[in-house]
Amino acid sequence: KWTYENFVLAWQAMSWPRMFFNSAFLTTTITVCNLFVSSLAAFAFARLRFPFKNVIFLLVLATMIVPDQVDLIPRFLMMSQWGLVNTYIPVILLALVHGFPIFLYRQFFQSLPQELFDAARVDGAGFFRIYWSLAMPLTWAASATLFIFTFLGHWNAFLYPLLYLQDRNLHTVQLGLAFFGDEYATTPIGPLMAASVFVALPPVLVYLMLQRHFARGVVMTGVKG
C-alpha cells in the first residue's frame, strides 16, 4: 500500500540536513574548480604553441585509463603526512584534474574560428582575457555537459569520502546510505529505499535544468570547424 511512513522514518534516522550540506558543498566546489582548471588547460592545448604539446596531451588522456585504486595508498600516506585527513581538502584536491573534461573542452575550443582570437589579440587582449571573456562564453554547452557529468560523479562518490572523512559531522549522503541502520540488528529496507530516493533527487534536478544544453554539448563534442 502507498505510505509515506518510510520517508519520515528515514529522515529521522540520520542527520540528513548536515550530510546534504556536506555533499552539496563538496560537489559544488569540486565541480566549479574542476571545470575552471580543465577549461584553462584545454584552452592552452587548443590555442597555444609550446614544445611537446601533443605528447603532453596524450599523457593527460592516458591518465583516464589508470584506476584510482592504483595510487590509493600513496595518496593516503601523502595526505596523512600533511595532516589533511579528516578534512575536506584531500577530497577536493584529488578531484581537481581529470583527463575527460580537458579533452571535451579542447574539442570545443578547436571548433571556434581562429579569426575570433586573432581579432581579440589585435585589440590587445591577453591570454587569460581571451580565455575568460571570449572563449568560455561560447562553450556554454560543453560547460553544461561537463557540469552534469562532474556533479553526478562526485555526488555519488564514495571511496575518497570514506577514506578521508572519518568524522560523522563530515559525512556525505553516500556515506549516510552506507551506514544507514547501524543501530538496528537488520537494515530497514523500506526506510533505506526512501532515503535512496531523496538522495538521488539533487542530481536528477540538475540534469533536468541543464538537459537542453547537455544534449547540444554531446552532439557538438566531435564537431571541428
pLDDT, tens digit (0-9, with 9 covering 90-100), for 85-97: 999 999 999 999 8
The predicted pLDDT at position 220 comes to: 53
Q: Mean pLDDT over residues 72-86, rounded?
A: 94
Q: Mean pLDDT over residues 167-192, rounded?
A: 83
Spacing of C-alpha 193 from chain mean position: 25
Report residue 225's pLDDT band, with 50, 70 and 90 as the boundaries: very low
* pLDDT tens per residue, range 133-176: 999 988 888 898 889 999 999 999 999 999 999 898 999 999 99
Contacts of 163 (CB under 8 A, 6+ apart): 72, 76
Residue 5 CB-density burial (10 A; 0-12 exposed, 13-18 middle, 19+ buried): exposed
Contacts of 108 (CB under 8 A, 6+ apart): 42, 138, 139, 141, 142, 220, 221
Task: Report the alpha-carbon distance of residue 146 to residue 152 in Å, rounded.
Answer: 10
Spacing of C-alpha 68 from chain mean position: 15
Q: Mean pLDDT over residues 72-87, rounded?
A: 94
The predicted pLDDT at position 219 comes to: 54
Q: Helix (H, G, I), strand (E, B), or coil: what is residue 1?
A: coil
Task: Report the alpha-carbon distance of residue 86 to residue 166 in Å, rounded.
Answer: 6
Q: Would the pLDDT of 69 be above 50? A: yes
Q: How many CA atoms lie within 13 A of 74 on its CB side?
A: 4
Cell numbers linked to 31 = 565541480
CB atoms within 10 A of CB 222: 8
Cell numbers linked to 110 = 578547436
Mean pLDDT of the chain: 88
Q: Where are the beta strands (DSSP E) in the chain?
A: none
Cell numbers linked to 20 = 546534504
- Please tell me the pTM assigned to this model: 0.86
Say if residues 38 and 146 touch (Cβ distance below 8 Å). yes
Task: Report the alpha-carbon distance of residue 29 to residue 96 in Å, rounded.
Answer: 10
Q: Would the pLDDT of 78 be above 90? A: yes
Report residue 68's pLDDT band, with 50, 70 and 90 as the boundaries: confident
Q: Helix (H, G, I), strand (E, B), or coil: what is residue 57?
A: helix
Q: Helix (H, G, I), strand (E, B), or coil: what is residue 48?
A: coil
Q: Would the pLDDT of 195 be above 80? A: yes
Task: Report the alpha-carbon distance of residue 200 to residue 156 in Å, rounded.
Answer: 9
